[in-house]
Amino acid sequence: MIHIDITLEDIDFDGLIDLYLPLMMDKLRESDSAISRLLSGGMPENLAKATLHKLPPDTKARIAVELINRNSDNLKAEVEQYARENGVGIRIGRITAAI
């Protein structure tokens, strides 16, 4: 078994917002915050995006970690497929993210 450590220095949070807005809205609705109360009242998508863009960096990082962990199976499949296409057969045990 080989362990590989990857550190993300930067992430396109705007791209994540566009891709995963419904999941983010559900996650924020579960929390006890002013944003969650607005979202539970049916905030329009464009207003929700603007609100998410203004979140503090540590909150954005926690959301990104949650999205990566929830989608780890898809990420594994994508990395394995990329490796196969480049002539390397691999099987990834797990992908997890943490702050």
pLDDT 10s digits, 1-52: 899 888 988 888 888 878 877 776 666 666 666 666 666 566 677 777 788 7
Tens digit of each residue's pLDDT (9 = 90 or more) over 69-97: 988 999 999 999 999 999 999 999 999 99
pTM of whole model > 0.85? Answer: no
Per domain, the residue ranges of the chain are: 13-85
Spatial distance between the Cα atoms of 37 and 14, rounded to a whole number of angstroms: 22
Q: Which residues of 29-43 are buried (b: 16+ CB within 10 A; e: fewer)?
A: beeeeebeeebeeeb
